[in-house]
Amino acid sequence: MANETILIVEDEADIRELIRYNMEREGFKVFEASSAEEAQAVLKRTLPDLILLDLMLPGTDGFAFCRSLRAAERTAKIPVIMVTARDEDADIVAGLEVGADDYMTKPFSARILSARVRAVLRRRTAEPEDGSDVLTRGPLEIDRTHHAVKVDGKPVVLTLSEFKTLDLFMRRPGVVFSRYQIVDAVHGEDYPVTDRSVDVQIVGLRRKLGAYSDLIETVRGVGYRMRVE
């Protein structure tokens, strides 16, 4: 798609150049920033379709920047892919919890980066506006108004927690949710819960999806997501 814009926030000039080269070759219009502060200045002038965000930046780091993006109404919905040299689970989880849509660990291939960018942009345009009541993905249909779920056209009875979890996954297929994000979505924030109770809930949900249980994928050390068909 022509004219989609990407903001690259990366302090290492050669990596920034490399990403820029690849994104331009894919037909994107590119803005660059070498710090979160520079990125904020760019955002005052233009709103990109997606942000590629390095975590380790001088000054404000990528976590804090992502949090501030999500907190401001104007930038809250811009998809963010974290690009980081760190590949520890804890960093990935922390990034997802401040609102990143996806992550890539360096070094990465240009082809994979392009595929991830396109997937995130596609997901954004495929997402229904909030308030859409019936959502269908593959064999699954979820009806928010009536709290009803069908698998292959057949009604399936879910607990309220299972329903909310499935709703979260179906609205953002492919996005990885940490256990804490799942708990927040299901019970509201500050609900005391263990990782284990989320795992148990997922087991129950998968069982009810029957032949389609593998639509809910485990992302080791991070959380869960709905497989993209």
Count residues near Ca ion (CB under 5 A): 3
Is 56 a residue that touches Ca ion (CB under 5 A)? yes
Q: How far is the CB of 15 from Ca ion (least distance, A)?
A: 8
Residue type, 22: N
Q: Does 91 bind Ca ion (CB under 5 A)?
A: no
Using the rule CB under 5 A, give the single segment among 49-57, 159-167, 177-185, 215-223 that binds Ca ion: 49-57
Furthest C-alpha separation in the chain: 54
Q: Which residues contact 195 (CB under 8 A, 6 or more apart)?
A: 179
For 109, residues 6+ apart whose C-beta sits below 8 A from its C-beta are none
Span near Ca ion by CB under 5 A; candidates 5-13, 143-151, 163-171, 203-211: 5-13
Cβ contact 227:216 at 8 Å:
yes
Nearest distance from C-beta of residue 55 to Ca ion, angstroms: 7
Tokens matching residue 130? 């909030």
CB distance 197 to 182 below 8 Å: no
Give Cα separations from 137 to 39, 98, 166, 169, 203 (angstroms).
Answer: 36, 27, 11, 10, 20
Minimum gap (Å) between residue 59 Cβ and Ca ion? 11
Using the rule CB under 5 A, which residue among 49, 54, 91, 141 binds Ca ion?
A: 54
Among residue numbers 9 through 28, which ones bind Ca ion (CB under 5 A)? 11
User: What is the number of the residue whose Cβ is closest to Ca ion?
Assistant: 56
CB of 6 or CB of 140, closer to Ca ion? 6
Q: In 3D, which of 97, 124, 102, 88 has the Cα closest to residue 1? A: 124
With respect to Ca ion, which residue has the nearer C-beta, 11 or 184? 11
- Would you report the helix, strand and coil content of the chain in percent, each value rounded to 5? 45, 20, 35
**Is the CB of 54 or the CB of 141 nearer to Ca ion?**
54
Closest to Ca ion by CB, 84 or 201: 84
Give 85 or 160: the residue with its C-beta nearer to Ca ion: 85
Minimum separation from the CB atom of position 92 to Ca ion (A): 16
The strands making up 223-226's β-sheet, listed across from edge to edge, are: 177-178, 223-226, 216-219
Name the minimum Å distance from CB 93 to Ca ion.
19
Write each residue from 127 to 156 as x if it is in contact with Ca ion (CB under 5 A), else as -, in one continuous string: ------------------------------
Answer for the pair 7, 34: CB distance below 8 angstroms, yes or no. Answer: no
Lookup: tokens for 213:
């249980």
Which residues lie near Ca ion (CB under 5 A)? Answer: 11, 54, 56
